[in-house]
Amino acid sequence: MASLAEPIGLPAAPVPPGRVYYRHRIVTRVCHWINVLCIGFLIASGLNIFNAHPALYWGKYGADNDDARRWFEIGAMDLPDGTAAGITRVGDVHLTTTGVLGINRAANGQLQQQGFPDWLTFPTNRDLATARRWHFFFAWLFILNGLAYLVYGFATRHLQDDVWPRLRQLSPANIAHDIVRHAKLQFPRGDEDRHYHILQRLAYAGTVFVLLPLMVATGLSMSPGFDAALGGLLPGLFGGRASARSLHFITMDLTVAFIVIHVAMVILAGPINQLRSMITGRYDVGVAKPGERSE
């Protein structure tokens, strides 16, 4: 096995076939896994908080009788046969979601009327006060960890050089090439695998610079403390506190979509090598197939 080369982000040198190199610095790795922990608890405790009022509105306000502003809700309705159905409404679309959303089983096996099921929430029983405490604890940890990742990433030029999409990668031909390659479940190996490809960069940069900051900003929009300190600036930016809550929920959904695709790609691209790189830093770029093009 060859000796470890420099981390991702330092000047590129051709990588001999099969070479293991040092891909992720310690701070990137620690921040990544703290982030995974935070996001997991934030989503689960957020769903518990959402269950206290399982409906979303556009505008400044939202309450039970605000039918015009309500665009999303999870509820239940009685069926003619005497049973109840879980109903999820998105705009004009009504979906029957019995068993998961609206009507689901509690830990004791009894059917209950509740937005998200207990097994998706933290804590796993209906407890708004406890869920809020955990949510705010992990939100601040998430923010501090995110700031550390950003400061370190900019200082070492990791974010500018490795994560931010390169101009030449943004050509439609290169993006189309990468999409086709992913659709065929072909992942670059060899020298090309030393750098994130364009779809990875777009996904990571979109998450780091747009999605997660938007999740934080919409979350802070709902804080009465920040509201008072900033004179209502944040909720105003998003069209009101109810709109900010809706956008907070949407950014959570998009984050879940990112995680599903991200983890699927890690599994498909070789989970042992991928996970090892995010745990120890070492990554095996493997050997390129003959004729594989670069970038």
* Residues within the interface to ligand HEM (CB under 6 A): 23, 28, 32, 35-36, 39, 163, 204, 207-208, 255, 258-259, 262-263, 266, 274-275, 277-278
What is the nearest approach in angstroms of ligand HEM to the Cβ of residue 118?
22
In sequence order, what are the residues at sequence separation of 6 or more whose Cβ sits closer than 8 angstroms to the Cβ of residue 241? 60, 61, 221, 222, 227, 235
Give ∠ CA 161-165-169 in degrees, rounded to 5: 110
Looking at residue 58, the DSSP 8-state letter turns out to be S
User: Closer to ligand HEM at the Cβ: 159 or 244?
Assistant: 159
Looking at residue 119, the DSSP 8-state letter turns out to be G
Contact 69, 239 (CB under 8 A): no
User: Closer to ligand HEM at the Cβ: 36 or 176?
Assistant: 36
Kind of pairing between the strands at 20-22 and 282-284: antiparallel
User: Closer to ligand HEM at the Cβ: 131 or 208?
Assistant: 208
What is the nearest approach in angstroms of ligand HEM to the Cβ of residue 226?
23
User: Closer to ligand HEM at the Cβ: 51 or 255?
Assistant: 255
What is the nearest approach in angstroms of ligand HEM to the Cβ of residue 196?
6
Please tell me whether residue 141 adopts helix, strand or coil conformation.
helix
Kind of pairing between the strands at 20-22 and 84-90: unpaired
Six-digit token pair at 151?
């400061």
What is the nearest approach in angstroms of ligand HEM to the Cβ of residue 200?
7
Contact 139, 42 (CB under 8 A): yes
CA 135, CA 158: separation in Å to the nearest integer? 30
What is the nearest approach in angstroms of ligand HEM to the Cβ of residue 145?
11
What is the nearest approach in angstroms of ligand HEM to the Cβ of residue 165?
13
Preceding peptide of 123 cis, ω within 30°: yes
What is the nearest approach in angstroms of ligand HEM to the Cβ of residue 233?
26
Closest CA to 189 of 16, 67, 33: 16
User: Closer to ligand HEM at the Cβ: 95 or 256?
Assistant: 256
What is the nearest approach in angstroms of ligand HEM to the Cβ of residue 39?
4
User: Closer to ligand HEM at the Cβ: 36 or 52?
Assistant: 36
User: Closer to ligand HEM at the Cβ: 103 or 208?
Assistant: 208
CA 19, CA 287: separation in Å to the nearest integer? 8
CA 25, CA 163: separation in Å to the nearest integer? 14
User: Closer to ligand HEM at the Cβ: 121 or 274?
Assistant: 274
